[in-house]
Amino acid sequence: MLRVKYHPVDWHSIVWNKMAIPKHKFICWLIAREALQVKSKLFGLGIAPDDDCLLYGSAAETHLHLFQQCPYSRTILLEMARLCHVALPSTDILRLIWLQKWSKYRRGVLLCAFMACFYFIWLQRNRARVEHSLVKPAEVVRSARNVTKMRICTFQNQLDMLDRQWLKSIEVCK
């Protein structure tokens, strides 16, 4: 009686999949709930002097802008999509991956790769705020590829032949 009953969310299975790295899951959970302290939220509270994006500076830093529309972030996501042979939609890459008719392993690898991108985008945003410097998008993609490769190596004993061929074809694992 004391607990409030909430409606189930549709992103639960996407965020809490077993292949993603726990700290990446946590950041994606905060993104899904729009709970990160982005500048538009801080500006609204009177904490930040403006709401300009720290990565690009031309638009208000909202969750939507920071993780889907910002040219810096978009470059990272497009490069990861190119490496993984996935067509990047204009919105919600994680939901697109989850709804595809791919094997569970393939979906897990792609979710892991893009969640790593989101984590590193947030890391770069915080670095820009504190250190006033940014790493090139190619470096961010390289970091995301490296952590994805280390993570998916632990799940390779569950592969069928099609997944093995796909894994060899994508550059995330090189």
12-56 confidence digits (pLDDT tens):
888 888 889 999 999 999 998 889 999 888 888 888 888 899 998
Cα separation values, 26 from 11, 17, 32, 78, Å: 13, 11, 10, 23
Which pTM does this prediction carry? 0.89
Cβ-count burial 67-105 (b if 16+ within 10 Å, e if not): bbebebbbebbebbbebbebebeeeebbeebbeeebeeb
Convert the pLDDT of each residue in 44-73 to its tens digit.
Answer: 888 888 889 999 888 989 999 999 899 999
Tell me which residue of 119, 126, 171, 168 sits closest to 140, measured CA to CA. 119
Asked if residue 94 has pLDDT above 90, the reply is: no
Q: Where are the domains of the chain?
A: 12-173
| Burial class, 19, CB count within 10 angstroms (exposed 0-12 / middle 13-18 / buried 19+) | buried
**Averaged pLDDT for residues 76-101:** 85
- Residue 151 reports pLDDT greater than 60: yes
Given a cut of 90, is residue 158 above it in pLDDT? no
At 174, the pLDDT band (50, 70, 90 cuts) reads: low
CA atoms within 13 A on the CB side of 101: 0
